[in-house]
Amino acid sequence: MSFKKEPLPAGFMIAGILGFIISLIYWDKIGAPWGFTFALLSAIFFIGSLISLRESIEIDKAHLKAKRRKKRK
């Protein structure tokens, strides 16, 4: 059984970036433990979106190579 990997939506990456920035701005108002937690969670969102984007690009390259091989035959 195989499955197709898809990149996460762009909104996921934007939420990670904005969440990280907002949590750093309001760090003192919401408290250090909560500020750190929100910043860490947002950073994980952003890193996850970058990883999924990278994997989908590699899959697309492999798919294009297979199409080119079929055309040559």
DSSP-assigned letters across all residues of 28-54: HHH-HHHHHHHHHHHHHHHHHHHHHHH
Question: Distance between CA 49 and CA 56 in Å, rounded?
Answer: 11
pTM above 0.75, yes or no: no
Q: Give tens-digit pLDDT for 7-56.
A: 778 888 899 999 999 999 998 898 999 999 999 999 999 998 888 887 76
Domain that holds residue 36: 11-72
Domain total of the chain: 1
Instruction: Evaluate whether residue 19 is within a structural domain.
Output: yes
Instruction: Evaluate whether residue 60 is within a structural domain.
Output: yes
Q: Give tens-digit pLDDT for 44-72.
A: 999 988 888 877 666 666 666 777 777 76
Phi, psi (deg, nearest 5) at residue 68: -65, -35
CB-based contact 46:16 (threshold 8 Å): yes
